[in-house]
Amino acid sequence: MQWLNRVMLRLLIENTLDREERIMAEWQRVRLGNIIKTNQNIYSTKENWQFVNYLDTGNITMNRVKEIRYINTDIDKLPSRARRKVKFNSIIYSTVRPDQLHYGIIKEQPNNFLVSTGFTVIDVDSRKAVPDFIYYILTRKDVTEHLQAIAEQSVSAYPSLKPSDIENLKVLLPDIDTQKKIVSVLSVIDEKIALNTQINNNLLDQVLTLYRNKFVDTVNNKCEICRADEYFDISIGKTPPRKEPQWFSTNPQDVTWVSISDMGTCGLYISSSSEQLTKEAVKRHNVKVVPDNTVLLSFKLTVGRVAITNGEMATNEAIAHFKTDKKEINEYLYCYLKCFNYQTMGSTSSIATAVNSKIIKGMPFVVPTDEELKEFNDFAAPMFSKIKANQIETDNLTLLRDTLLPKLMTGELDVSEIDI
């Protein structure tokens, strides 16, 4: 990271007034459709693949893949949306609700790989632009907000884009060498973020494996079972009236207000949200603010997302808070909720609509003995601490990248003296 720090220092001492004249002379404003092609390759059932590796829109967020579904086509029917082919450096961008950030750039892929038709697949003419440079343009906050505004004007049942909406974007484009230098700066940050994410996933897998071995796969007659609300103080979040916009904010200095979508992208610990509540909203509408190190569980629509708060925050009404003074139980509780079979909690065909706050409060909780808890914590607690430290570093790197991104992509910061 020392190289990155030197580059940042050099970039930040540039004279931006002199830069403006040079940008106008050296950077060109182009229509994105002139340098990209969209949705070029479609899978045909006549190709008769025996298996497919399929990526749906909900399983990638900010280039982080959650799951690629393996489908044996001799046994299971291929989803109707599993149609788009991709190649190296293809950019995939969800056309539904762009503000949910379901996008990525393909650097490696399994055999027989297909992505959902819910993505626009973007292939960049490498003679005119660097694919990663275009990816960084499309993932700028102001661009995703612009595309979200376009999507909200669509006539479909939910906010959605057409490929032409992306093709019609006007972007500033420097020469190829400058594009490569800008990409080199941003990719150093992204590679460190990806490494931290990989380390954290491995650490959490180890903890969950130990948990399953000790408490799921092994018969234990020593544990007691009680209602969750007999062991924890369980509260539910709240949403102020949406028709009154004065209660909502995008200012990080206001009260962090967690949604299920935020829990889908946060990792083990959650410290920020895409939307905030004003302090007056919390007071006026009696929104509960939960303390640091509280375990959260989503239970409406998307059931079973779990996170631990890093700082005080509030949530919407789709999230339950498991509060306790016995903080040494938190690592165990997190694993318990991650591994819990939520299908046992509903009596309807759709678990997403069957679960409510009453059911959550009455769900069974298996209480470990003090000896079992200490043995588990001796292993899990240091792992959780390392994960938290990595997440804090990742949050800082993400903030640095998001600060640099618009400045680099508009030429405000000069990279001409960087050697790559």
pLDDT band of 409, cuts 50, 70, 90: confident
> pLDDT, tens digit, for every residue of 135-182?
999 999 899 999 999 999 988 888 999 999 999 999 999 999 999 999
**Contact, 32 vs 166, CB < 8 A?**
yes
Where does a domain end: 328, 351, 367?
A: 367
Domain annotation covers residue 379? yes
Alpha-carbon torsion angle 395, 400, 402, 404, nearest 10: -170
β 64-65/82-84 pair status: unpaired
Q: What is the pTM of this model?
A: 0.82
Q: What is the pLDDT of residue 4?
A: 56
Domain annotation covers residue 188? yes
Taking Cα atoms as reference points, which of 314, 307, 338 lies closest to residue 235? 314
Separation of alpha carbons 66 and 84, rounded Å: 19
**Contact, 53 vs 112, CB < 8 A?**
yes
Separation of alpha carbons 201 and 383, rounded Å: 11
Q: What is the pLDDT of residue 17?
A: 43
Q: Are residues 141 and 179 located together in one domain of the fold?
A: no
CB atoms within 10 A of CB 102: 24
Q: Are residues 358 and 376 located together in one domain of the fold?
A: no
pLDDT band of 15, cuts 50, 70, 90: very low
- Maximum alpha-carbon separation in the chain: 76
Q: Are residues 30 and 168 located together in one domain of the fold?
A: yes
- Mean pLDDT calculated for residue range 86-112: 95
Q: Are residues 94 and 215 located together in one domain of the fold?
A: no
Q: Are residues 29 and 168 located together in one domain of the fold?
A: yes
Q: Are residues 330 and 409 located together in one domain of the fold?
A: no
- Contact residues for 419 (Cβ-Cβ < 8 A; gap 6+): none
Q: What is the pLDDT of residue 254?
A: 96
Domain annotation covers residue 13? no
Q: Which of 11-20, 81-90, 157-166, 213-222 has the highest mean pLDDT?
A: 81-90
Q: Are residues 40 and 30 located together in one domain of the fold?
A: yes
The enclosing domain of 373 has a CATH number of 1.10.287
**Contact, 105 vs 63, CB < 8 A?**
yes
Domain annotation covers residue 253? yes
Q: Are residues 259 and 338 located together in one domain of the fold?
A: yes
- The conformation of residue 214, written as its DSSP 8-state character, comes to I
Domain annotation covers residue 12? no
> pLDDT, tens digit, for every residue of 181-235?
999 999 999 999 999 999 999 999 999 999 999 998 887 777 899 999 999 999 9
Q: Are residues 30 and 167 located together in one domain of the fold?
A: yes
Q: What is the pLDDT of residue 247?
A: 96
- Please report the sign of the dihedral spanned by the C-alpha atoms of residue 258, residue 260, residue 265, residue 269: positive
Map tokens 């376009």 to a residue: 150
Written as six digits, the tokens of 323 are: 């509060």
Written as six digits, the tokens of 300 are: 């409406």
Q: Are residues 138 and 65 located together in one domain of the fold?
A: yes
**Contact, 144 vs 101, CB < 8 A?**
yes
- Contact residues for 288 (Cβ-Cβ < 8 A; gap 6+): 235, 236, 237, 238, 314, 321
Separation of alpha carbons 290 and 235, rounded Å: 9
Q: Are residues 312 and 251 located together in one domain of the fold?
A: yes
The enclosing domain of 86 has a CATH number of 3.90.220.20
For 396, the enclosing helix (H) or strand (E) is helix 370-409
Domain annotation covers residue 2? no
Three-class SS of residue 47? helix
Domain housing 149: 25-173
Q: What is the pLDDT of residue 352?
A: 54
Domain annotation covers residue 332? yes
For the chain, how many helices (H) and strands (E)? 13, 23
Residue 234 φ/ψ, nearest 5 degrees: -105, 125
- Mean pLDDT calculated for residue range 311-315: 97
pLDDT above 70 for 20? no
Separation of alpha carbons 128 and 173, rounded Å: 9
> pLDDT, tens digit, for every residue of 334-393?
999 999 999 888 654 455 556 889 999 999 999 999 999 999 999 999 999 999 999 999
Where does a domain end: 139, 173, 207?
A: 173
Q: What is the pLDDT of residue 274?
A: 87
Written as six digits, the tokens of 252 are: 């990080």
Q: Are residues 147 and 192 located together in one domain of the fold?
A: no
Domain annotation covers residue 185? yes
List strands edge to edge, sheet with 119-124.
36-38, 119-124, 91-94, 103-105
Number of domains in the chain: 3
For 248, the enclosing helix (H) or strand (E) is strand 248-249
pLDDT above 90 for 18? no
Q: What is the pLDDT of residue 13?
A: 46
